[in-house]
């Protein structure tokens, strides 16, 4: 028997109902639709409204959608891994809450924190449980309520982010479909380029941290932009070279959705035309760990068994990486 790989066998999603438009944002801060569209490619983003609802609320709904679509019994799921930078609480983990709310009572669950690369880190981790033969069904969720850490008086960050969750099911495959390879990187020296200063053990919440507005995203947008373009392109090209893939061999680039200009630059370096780039940043904005699985959800119907996908991300930390996936089913049946 050949090597066991972790095939993606289904995708689910949850998007909050409320849609925040560029026009509404321009009534909150000094910005406008023309600037946001030309600098980021974002038109709208979804925002989760309501008291006491966090990332697990969206994550559980994405998992329930996935279970409904695939007809999988929640009790048969062995592991739930949630990638998030906006957990409901420090503990218990958001994955734990999602597993409970979605009825995956037999699964063990935990979170992965790797910012915008979180989904790739979690997918790679989940695939290892399948490849090792210790788990038969693993659910990997990307869930982020970015509106909970965005400063809606800061025009340099507030247009960029949105809230969403999406999930994939991983199952064993003996025919070479699924997660083929991942190249992942971290560089903690980038910590001050994109971070949230307080709320952790370094600066626990206090009157001072709240007054100083240290519980929201801080960044050097320029530095992050430059690093994202070079690192995401380099690692994607490295993945293609490692597997002798040319631009025409790749059915879709599935890029993290931080800025349309970063996506375009990455695709150009890979020799991939824009029609082979999954894009939903215009509707969703940057939903951090949820960008890549929401793209898979949106494009699922166009995917065919055997399609080569390159998933690529860059995010705070810094963290970045690329994952090569051979798609395992015809999306039209989904
Ligand atoms: O997901 C993790 C990874 N995230 C990313 O990779 C995002 C990386 N960064 C970016 O996408 C871009 O750097 C931004 C979209 C954040 C900013 O785009 P930019 O082209 O680098 O703009 P900028 O910061 O250089 O600002 C250009 C001008 C400035 O005005 P002056 O100094 O030239 O007069 C800003 O004050 O645009 C101004 N500006 C705005 N104007 C209208 C900044 N934000 C806004 C705004 N509306 N929302």
Count of helix runs (H) and strand runs (E) in the chain: 10, 13
Tell whether 174 and 228 lie within a shared domain: no
Tell whether 173 and 93 lie within a shared domain: yes
Kindly give the number of the ligand 1 atom that is closest to the alpha carbon of 259: 11
Distances (CA, A) of 137 to 107, 129, 131, 218, 255: 9, 9, 11, 37, 25
CA atoms within 13 Å, Cβ hemisphere of 156: 10
Tell whether 157 and 230 lie within a shared domain: no
Say how many Å lie between the CA of residue 131 and the centre of ligand 1: 42
Tell whether 196 and 92 lie within a shared domain: no
65-98 CB burial, b ≥16 within 10 A, e <16: bbbebbebebeebbbbbbbbbbbbeeeebbbbbb
Nearest residue by C-alpha to atom 27 in ligand 1: 39
Nearest residue by C-alpha to atom 20 in ligand 1: 39
Nearest residue by C-alpha to atom 35 in ligand 1: 156
Please state the domain count of the chain: 2
Phi/psi region, residue 27 (left: phi>0; alpha: psi -120 to 50; beta: rest), is: alpha
Tell whether 199 and 60 lie within a shared domain: no
Tell whether 156 and 89 lie within a shared domain: yes
> For a pocket test of ligand 1, which of 113, 159, 191, 225 has the largest count of ligand atoms closer than 8 A to its C-beta?
225
Give pLDDT, residue 243.
Answer: 98
Residues 6+ apart with CB under 8 A from 90: none
Show the tokens assigned to 113: 């924190």
Q: How many CB atoms lie within 10 A of CB 206?
A: 11
Say how many Å lie between the CA of residue 262 and the centre of ligand 1: 13
Say how many Å lie between the CA of residue 71 and the centre of ligand 1: 44
**Contact by Cβ (8 Å): 84, 119:** no
Say how many Å lie between the CA of residue 68 and the centre of ligand 1: 40
Helices (H), the chain: 22-28, 33-40, 55-70, 94-101, 118-131, 207-211, 221-242, 260-270, 281-284, 291-299
3-state secondary structure of 81: strand
For residue 334, is it within any domain? Answer: no
**Contact by Cβ (8 Å): 8, 296:** yes
Give pLDDT, residue 2.
Answer: 76
CATH of the domain at 55: 3.40.47.10
Give pLDDT, residue 100.
Answer: 98
| End-to-end Cα spacing for the chain | 28
Is residue 215 packed enough to be buried (19+ CB in 10 Å), middle (13-18) or exposed (0-12)?
Answer: middle
pLDDT tens per residue across all 334 residues of the chain: 679 999 999 999 999 999 999 999 999 999 999 999 999 999 999 999 999 999 999 999 999 999 999 999 999 999 999 999 999 999 999 999 999 999 999 999 999 999 999 999 999 999 999 999 999 999 999 999 999 999 999 999 999 999 999 999 999 999 999 999 999 999 999 899 999 999 999 999 999 999 999 999 999 999 999 999 999 999 999 999 999 999 999 999 999 999 999 999 999 999 999 999 999 999 999 999 999 999 999 999 999 999 999 999 999 999 999 999 999 999 976 6
Nearest residue by C-alpha to atom 30 in ligand 1: 156
Give pLDDT, residue 248.
Answer: 95
Kindly give the number of the ligand 1 atom that is closest to the alpha carbon of 157: 16
For residue 332, is it within any domain? Answer: no
Residues 6+ apart with CB under 8 A from 128: none
Give pLDDT, residue 332.
Answer: 73
- Given 128, 152, 178, which residue is the final one in a domain? 178
Q: Residue 56: which of 202, 168, 177, 167 has the closest Cα?
A: 167
Q: Residue 146: which of 42, 216, 61 has the closest Cα?
A: 216
Pairing, β 79-83 against β 137-145: parallel
Distance CA 215, CA 229 (A): 27
Say how many Å lie between the CA of residue 202 and the centre of ligand 1: 28
Residues 6+ apart with CB under 8 A from 333: none
3-state secondary structure of 309: strand
287-309 CB burial, b ≥16 within 10 A, e <16: bbbbbbbbbbbbbbeebeeebbb
Kindly give the number of the ligand 1 atom that is closest to the alpha carbon of 262: 6
Give pLDDT, residue 1.
Answer: 60
Ligand 1 pocket list (CB less than 6 A):
31, 35-36, 39-40, 116, 155-156, 159, 221-222, 224-225, 228, 258-259, 262, 286, 314-315
Which positions are annotated as active-site residues?
A: 116, 256, 286
- Given 178, 195, 228, which residue is the final one in a domain? 178
């Amino acid at each position: 028997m050949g090597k066991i790989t972790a095939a993606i066998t289904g995708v689910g999603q949850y998007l909050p109902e409320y849609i925040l438009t560029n026009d509404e944002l321009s009534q909150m801060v000094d910005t406008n639709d023309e600037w946001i569209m030309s600098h980021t490619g974002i038109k709208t983003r979804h925002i989760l409204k309501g008291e006491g609802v966090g990332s697990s609320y969206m994550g559980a709904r994405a998992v329930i959608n996935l279970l409904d679509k695939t007809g999988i019994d929640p009790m048969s799921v062995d592991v739930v891994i949630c990638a998030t930078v906006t957990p409901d609480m420090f503990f218990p983990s958001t994955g734990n809450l999602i597993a409970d709310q979605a009825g995956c009572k037999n699964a063990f669950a935990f979170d992965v924190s790797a910012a915008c690369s979180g989904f790739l880190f979690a997918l790679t981790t989940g695939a290892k449980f399948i490849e090792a033969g210790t788990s038969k069904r693993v659910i990997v969720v990307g869930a982020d309520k970015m509106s909970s850490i965005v400063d809606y008086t800061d025009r340099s960050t507030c247009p960029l982010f949105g809230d969403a969750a999406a999930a994939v099911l991983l199952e064993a495959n003996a025919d070479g479909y699924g997660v083929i390879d991942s190249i992942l990187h971290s560089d903690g020296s980038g910590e001050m380029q994109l971070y949230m200063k307080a709320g952790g053990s370094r600066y626990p919440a206090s009157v001072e941290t709240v007054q100083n507005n240290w519980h929201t995203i801080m960044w050097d947008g320029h530095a992050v932009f430059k690093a994202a373009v070079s690192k995401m392109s380099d690692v994607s090209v490295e993945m293609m070279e490692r597997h002798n893939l040319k631009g025409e061999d790749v059915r879709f680039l599935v890029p993290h959705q931080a800025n349309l200009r970063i996506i375009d630059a990455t695709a150009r370096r890979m020799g991939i035309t824009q029609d082979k780039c999954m894009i939903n940043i215009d509707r969703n904005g940057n939903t951090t760990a949820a960008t890549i699985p929401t793209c898979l959800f949106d494009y699922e119907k166009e995917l065919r068994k055997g399609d080569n996908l390159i998933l690529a991300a860059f995010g705070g930390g810094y963290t970045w990486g690329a994952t090569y996936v051979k798609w395992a089913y015809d999306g039209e049946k989904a």
